[in-house]
Amino acid sequence: MNGDEKGFEVYSKGTHKSPILLDSGSDPIWVAIREEAKIEADKEPILSSFLYAGILAHECLEQALGFVLANRLQNPTLLATQLLDIFNGVMMHDQGIQSSIRHDIQAFKERDPACLSYSSAILHLKGYHALQAYRVSHKLWNEGRKLLALALQSRISEVFGIDIHPAAKIGEGILLDHGTGVVIGETAVIGNRVSILHGVTLGGTGKETGDRHPKIGEGAVLGACVTILGNISVGAGAMVAAGSLVLKDVPSHSVVAGNPAKLIRVIGEQDPSLAMKHDATEEFFRHVADGYRGAISNGPSVSSEDKEKGHTNCTK
């Protein structure tokens, strides 16, 4: 690869595809977005102005995305023109972000069956919008412009209902499916190719400072309403089933489920995030049923502290 080419590896639903090499005049994802917008404008003339303003009036993906984000996040004191300058100033000059926004949009298109096209992701999907706005805020944070980064975080949270601290470290090829209610703490780290559903919390456990948030390995999938607390690790290729509460490390390439989460089985898939299989499966429910029958046969549990106080686990 020479200095005039950029390589953007494209991730499909279940496999890795070979990198697409983009020279200075070729960007297949942007070409696809423009073609989609033209087709949609012909099919739905009432949206032609909207599609022109959001996509067709721009020369590249970075400019179009900056325009969309600026108009979504503006308010009376943080004007769209100011935000557009911020977004363009970062995205047009940061090759890492240029790569990430393409990996991410590919992830949305290939893994989310509700994502109809690349253009629908850039125009409509708030999970994609929040993720790319976070990337700009993260850049600002690392440049020492922390107040501006926090102002962007606040607007992202208000508009999209997704709260990502600008200091968090997030890889590329990320899917935030729906995104509503996602919270990612300051010292959280998320690897490449991770899929995250709505309601996921990567949080701390109290008032501790320092490195206090979860670390998510590459290719993991976090099901809806998963809560992971503390400076613990979810290994590469792990799957956390919907509704689970995770309080300790999760091995790589394993499935955990429950409250608190327990190991269910080991899986052979390298990146379950690409296949988007995040159900607990019949095996999990059989495990829960067996545990419930065991608890019933052994009678109600009483902690040693309760025994000393003469209390049972019943509430008044």
Q: What is the pLDDT along the chain (316 residues), one digit of tens a residue?
A: 333 334 444 443 444 443 444 444 589 999 999 999 999 999 999 999 999 999 999 999 999 999 999 999 999 999 999 999 999 999 999 999 999 999 999 999 999 999 999 999 999 999 999 999 999 999 999 999 999 999 999 999 999 999 999 999 999 999 999 999 999 999 999 999 999 999 999 999 988 889 999 999 999 999 999 999 999 999 999 999 999 999 999 999 999 999 999 999 988 666 666 666 555 555 554 554 454 455 455 554 444 444 444 444 443 3
- Among 189, 173, 31, 172, which residue's Cα sits nearest to residue 111? 173
Contact 187, 208 (CB under 8 A): no
Q: Is residue 7 a part of any domain in this protein?
A: no
Report, in this order, helix, strand and coil percent for the chain, each rounded to 5.
45, 15, 40
Which residue range forms the structural domain that includes residue 201?
Answer: 168-277
Q: Do residues 146 and 174 share a domain?
A: no
Q: How far is CA 289 from CA 192, 285, 296, in A?
A: 35, 6, 11
Rounded Cα distance, 226 and 241, in Å: 7
Q: Is residue 308 a part of any domain in this protein?
A: no
How is residue 46 written in tokens? 């009432």
Q: What sign has the CA pseudo-torsion 36, 42, 45, 49?
A: positive
Task: Tell me which of 129, 162, 195 is where a domain ends.
Answer: 162
| CATH code for the domain of 266 | 2.160.10.10
Q: Do residues 156 and 179 share a domain?
A: no
Q: Do residues 250 and 193 share a domain?
A: yes
Rounded Cα distance, 6 and 10, in Å: 12
Question: How many domains does the chain contain in total?
Answer: 2
